[in-house]
Amino acid sequence: MIGQKRSLEDTVGPAIAPMLEKSFEKIALSIARDNGGTFWCRLCDRGPFTKRGFYLHLIRVHYRDLEYLVEEELKRALEVVRR
C-alpha cells in the first residue's frame, strides 16, 4: 500500500525475511518460463523480459496473484519454523 511500504524485514522479522525472499524467488521462477536468459510470464504469456524486468512485471501486473501466492508460501514456511 502506498505510504505504508515497509521493508520485508520490518514486516516479518529478520528470522523470516530471508526465507520469504527465497519463497518469492521460488514463486517467481515457477511463474516464469526461462528461455535461455530471457523470461516469459506464464500467467499472461507476455515476454520476453530480463530477470529484473520480469520481477517488475510481476509486481505491476500480478501483484494480487503474487500476494496470494507469497501468503500461502509464507504460511507453509511458518509451519516449518513452528515444528
Q: Which residues bind Zn ion (CB under 5 A)?
A: 41, 43-44
With cell 501486473, the residue in question is 61
Q: Smallest distance from the beta carbon of 65 to Zn ion, in angstroms?
A: 9
Assign 38 to helix, strand or coil: strand
If the CB atoms of residues 20 and 41 are measured against Zn ion, the closer one turns out to be 41
Q: Is 67 exposed, middle or buried (0-12, 13-18, 19+ CB in 10 A)?
A: exposed
Q: Smallest distance from the beta carbon of 83 to Zn ion, in angstroms?
A: 35
User: How many angstroms separate the CA atoms of 33 and 41, rounded?
Assistant: 6
If the CB atoms of residues 46 and 76 are measured against Zn ion, the closer one turns out to be 46
Q: Smallest distance from the beta carbon of 58 to Zn ion, in angstroms?
A: 7
If the CB atoms of residues 29 and 44 are measured against Zn ion, the closer one turns out to be 44
